[in-house]
Amino acid sequence: MARFESSVETFRVQEVPAYEPSGSGTHVYVLIEKRGLTTPEAIRALCAAVGVDTRDVGYAGMKDKHATTTQWLSFPESVEAKLATANIENLRVVKQSRHVNKLRVGHVKKNLFEVTLTDVTAEEQDALSQRFTSFTHQGVPNRYGQQRFGRGDNVATGLAILGGTRRENDRRKRTLLISAVQSAVFNQVLTWRQEQGSLRRVLAGDVLQKAETGGLFTSTDEVKDQGRLLAGELVTTGPLPGAKAPRPSEGSPAAALEHEAMTVVGLTPALVAMNSRDLPGARRPLMMVVEALAAPVASGQTLQLAFALPSGAYATVVIEALLGTGFTLVE
């Protein structure tokens, strides 16, 4: 039966930045390739090699550990020469340049993926290829992958931080733990809407996103907006709860569903209000667009897939939708 086991040989990820470094400025941008390392591990190793604090390093997004990945990082200009000669196992600096600002989380246009499935029978090759092609037309539920939640109970820890019963001094870890709470609410909303068949159906009071511009608005005419959704003009969204995030119309079915999801996770409106600085909030499309970069390639008992996903979308979720119980993720 076809399977996928994430490794440096079977999983490649290439970050496409929101912008290229200009060539001048007070920040050094380095494009790194890492194998078998998390992004924080790569940052710590580079910082130890060049003598700079991890807080001075910018990155646009986290990249998988059990993979070969490329991504941009930014460093202070004072360590430019040391970066060029850094010698770190399973990590190399591909190129470097200068830019005017530090890299920030979210400064990513999309990510490119090359995935190799193994133990694929001849019968499965055609079926999987057809299913993958259907994803490029219909999309896939934009669920947060298990990597978001870690092996421990990140959601419970994040709630404890928000409630003031636990402190976390590491800024990156604190942000990750709090975001796990928001992600859990989103996944709960997505699960319920998938069960009721409303991932591609507008609910009364829904917050919708314009496909072309990314602009958000609250639906006041679900019949009209449903037509625009089917035409590809709009997409449904789910909540990353926060003080400034757009919310469904008060008293609407969409609002009731999202409020219930927050209750199930344990995130109350009072906690959101208490942590407005850490929880500005946002909306996330319920469906992800899968952009095929090439047709699936079968060779022996393997099937190679090449596709692109928007920033923040998980390739492992696409693979899970493709393989179901044949999915394996090494931790």
Residue 25 has pLDDT above 70, yes or no: yes
Question: What is the mean predicted confidence (pLDDT) over 107-125?
Answer: 94
Closest CA to 261 of 181, 163, 166: 181
The mean predicted confidence, pLDDT, of the chain is 94
Tell me, what's the pLDDT at 1?
Answer: 87
Residue 238 has pLDDT above 80, yes or no: yes
**Residue 24 contacts by C-beta under 8 Å, 6 or more apart in sequence?**
98, 99, 100
DSSP 3-state assignment of 234? strand
Question: What is the mean predicted confidence (pLDDT) over 6-35?
Answer: 96
DSSP string for 171-197: HHHHHHHHHHHHHHHHHHHHHHHHHTT
Confidence of residue 151 (pLDDT cuts 50, 70, 90): confident
State percent of the chain over pLDDT 70: 98
Residues in the chain: 331
The helix or strand, by DSSP H or E, that contains position 59, with its residue range, turns out to be strand 58-59
Which residues have a catalytic role annotated? 64
Strand partners, 96: 30
Tell me, what's the pLDDT at 56?
Answer: 95
- The more confidently predicted of residues 119 and 331 is 119
| Residue 91 vs residues 38, 40, 58, 102, 245: alpha-carbon distances, Å | 11, 13, 17, 21, 38
Question: What is the mean predicted confidence (pLDDT) over 95-105?
Answer: 95
184: left (phi over 0), alpha (psi -120 to 50) or beta: alpha
- The more confidently predicted of residues 289 and 37 is 37
Tell me, what's the pLDDT at 171?
Answer: 85
Q: What are the pLDDT digits (tens) for 178-224? A: 999 999 999 999 999 999 999 999 999 999 999 999 999 999 999 99
pTM listed for this prediction: 0.88
**Residue 128 contacts by C-beta under 8 Å, 6 or more apart in sequence?**
2, 117, 120, 296, 303, 322, 323
Tell me, what's the pLDDT at 324?
Answer: 81
Please state, in angstroms and rounded to a whole number, the distance separating the CA atoms of residues 277 and 311: 23
| Residue 121 vs residues 38, 116, 317: alpha-carbon distances, Å | 32, 14, 22
Tell me, what's the pLDDT at 218?
Answer: 97
Question: What is the mean predicted confidence (pLDDT) over 93-118?
Answer: 95
Residue 328 has pLDDT above 80, yes or no: no
* Measured CA angle at 7 (ends 171, 68), to 5 deg: 65
Tell me, what's the pLDDT at 152?
Answer: 73
Tell me, what's the pLDDT at 326?
Answer: 55
